[in-house]
Amino acid sequence: MIVGICQIDLHIPNNHSLKEKRSIVRSIVTRIRQQFNVSIVELDLQDVWQSSCLGVACISNDSAYAHRQLENIVHWIEQKRPDVTLVDYRIELC
């Protein structure tokens, strides 16, 4: 069993309140959860208006598939969410 985890750091430049940030993050989390069938949550920076740190986890029996799945999520954010800037991401396989 392979567990893939990815930490994604985002910057939300045009955000002006925590309420607006939560709406954006909730939308991203919901869409990724539905489209990729992974576990995802906001890990850190909940009280920072323009930053977010997401954690994604997937389980597979193939390490290449798990890595590809997490890479696809990162690319989805870059392509489908022009309102956020992907600052950094890290993928680990266990």
pLDDT tens for 54-89 read 999 999 999 999 999 999 999 999 999 999 999 999
Q: What is the CATH number of the domain that holds 78?
A: 3.30.70.1120
Domain count, the chain: 1
Residue appearing with tokens 């489209």: 35
N- to C-terminal Cα distance for the chain?
Answer: 9
What DSSP character marks residue 15?
-
Domain that holds residue 45: 2-93
Comparing C-alpha atoms, which of 34, 29, 30, 38 is closest to residue 69? 38
Judge contact between 21 and 45, C-beta under 8 A.
no
47 has a pLDDT exceeding 90 = no
Tens digits of per-residue pLDDT, 15-41?
888 889 999 999 999 999 999 999 999
What is the pTM for the complete model shown?
A: 0.89
Query: In whole angstroms, what is the distance from residue 29 CA to residue 93 CA?
Result: 21
